[in-house]
Structure 1
Amino acid sequence: DLCYANPTYARTASVSDKDYADHFSEKTVLGNWLRSKPVIITIDDIMFVHGGISDEMVQRKMDVRKINRIFTEKIIGLNLHKINESEHFRLLHGKHGPLWYRGYFHDPLFCENSIDRILDFYGMKHIVVGHTPNVTINSLFNNKVIGADTGICDGRSGEILIYKDGDFYQSLSTGRRNKL
């Protein structure tokens, strides 16, 4: 899905006579580098994931190792039509998967009980996500979800999320820090 890709990347792919996904195959430097990186990282009791973790992933008992393994071995570099052939692939690459999920911010039915179920399943206390630009770093559900995307790709100055001594801080371009 190139709708969020910088137009330069789409043009580069079209000039190369290769499908965009081919640039991420196991035969490329970029593809091999991506395969060496996890989709989800956990540090102590904090989970870091681009989009988020949905209830659907918990219902299907998709643990972090399994998710990372499926992405590394089977999803990265595949064409979308191949991804759509498998239910697990559709879930992980779709709107309820770790790359695209935005339910914390956009689903009016998502509540603190929902995030508690997710955190309990994974043994975490916090989830830090990007992917959904906000004007400022924000926290939801008593700091259980931290939205760290401040729209720097849209030309905003951006902010930095700092975690120190068990607390999260929003750091502004002025150098000022605000505890979340």
Structure 2
Amino acid sequence: MAPPLLRPSPLLLLVPLLLAAAPAPKAPAPPQLEDAVPDTFTGVERVVAVGDVHGDVDALKEVLRLAGIIDAKDRWSGGKAHLVQTGDIPDRGDQTRAAYDLLMRLEQEALAAGGRVHALLGNHEAMNMLGDLRYVSPGEMASFADQSPEPDAADAPAGLNGHRVAYSAEGRYGPWLRRHPAVVRINDTLFVHGGVAPQVPGTSLSEVNRWVRQDFFPGNPPGGAKDSQGPLWFRGYALGEPQDAEPALDAVLQRFGARRMVMGHTTNRDGKIQVRLNGKALLIDTGLSTGYGRHLSALELRGGKVHALYREGKVPLAQPVKTPAAPRPGKP
């Protein structure tokens, strides 16, 4: 005898109807200038800072392994450490997207482990968001082709439309970048791409970061992302004469409650982290990418001590020395 037909459960019949009626998940809201952008962190036991990447994700991975921030499978292994990447992820190399994707993933993995990843804005992030593509390599540009269904014009570089979409406020990388600061303070140290000049507006880091970010949101007056003396471009502490640069740095550090400033942007051609201005300026762009010689280095701040991390080992760096106050003129 034929087996009886199985009747479907009413609940099973109802499930497809419920799924069809369920609203589609909402896309994340686009970033706004008024969004809160965290910029101050205290009580952090270990901080690792890495300079300019310039489209070389392989070099970035290698230095993060060197610092114990990722494991052999490129997963977060830094525990509660904070990783600071001081900007200039894109341009000059072909692996920009892979570097972005790595840091975006590590942000989430670090948070889950009690740590943090701070990918700061550099001048090259700003240039890409604002349409200045002078330093985008052909391979880098072509890697963005899948970000737009619109074909590129016959006389345009391959990937141009996808690049524009990806860096827009609705694209894959534009919203992520627009939610990031230019300057953070972790414990007693400021981290920034170029440098915080004395003339930056504001008395708080949130005001400085808003000034920089306002260039990425239409309808605002010119801000600090384009300003040659803004935090993404300033080189005064890297290249200025000590007698002028140190008093300026002292004033900025006092304003924002810090002992030192860590900067990328200005490449140290000897491939080593440089210490300037009595230990208060640390320059960590050592030419990490292959195009600059692949000089791997990271800065470590831990337990009140500062070290440079290289392939050959750990090197202690000088601590900040307070500038003596100028003598007061004697009474007549």
User: What's the TM-score bracket when you normalise by the shorter of the two chains?
Assistant: 0.7 to 0.9
Q: Structure 2: how far apart are the matches of 1:167 and 1:6?
A: 39
Q: Secondary structure at the match of 1:15?
A: coil
Q: Which has the larger radius of gyration?
A: 2
Structure 1 segment 10-159 matched on structure 2, within 5 A: 10=141, 14-18=157-161, 22-57=165-200, 60-61=201-202, 63-72=204-213, 74-76=214-216, 86-87=221-222, 89=223, 91-108=224-241, 110-134=244-268, 135=270, 136-153=272-289, 154-159=292-297
Letter in 1 for 2:172: V
The share of aligned pairs that are identical, in percent, is 27
Deviation at 1:75, TM superposition (A): 2.3
The gaps in structure 1 that reach 5 residues or longer are none
Deviation at 1:137, TM superposition (A): 0.3
TM-score, normalised by the number of residues in structure 1: 0.79
**Which 4+ residue blocks in structure 1 deviate beyond 6 angstroms?**
none
Greater helix proportion: 1
Q: Secondary structure at the match of 1:41?
A: strand
Contact 2:167 2:173 in 1 (8 A): yes
Mean CA deviation greater in 153-162 or 116-125 = 153-162
Q: CA RMSD in A?
A: 2.6
Pair 120,4 (structure 1): closer, same or farther in 2 beyond 3 Å: farther
1:160 lines up with 2:301 in the alignment: no
Deviation at 1:170, TM superposition (A): 1.2
TM-score, normalised by the number of residues in structure 2: 0.46
- Partner deviation per Cα, 1:75-104 (whole Å, 9 max, x = no partner): 2377xxx8xx834x1x44222111111111
Contact 1:22 1:77 in 2 (8 A): no
Q: Structure 2: how far apart are the matches of 1:44 and 1:19?
A: 39
- Partner deviation per Cα, 1:130-159 (whole Å, 9 max, x = no partner): 111102101111211110110112123221
Deviation at 1:24, TM superposition (A): 1.8
Contact 1:31 1:76 in 2 (8 A): no
Pair 37,149 (structure 1): closer, same or farther in 2 beyond 3 Å: same
The gaps in structure 2 that reach 5 residues or longer are 1-131, 145-156, 319-332
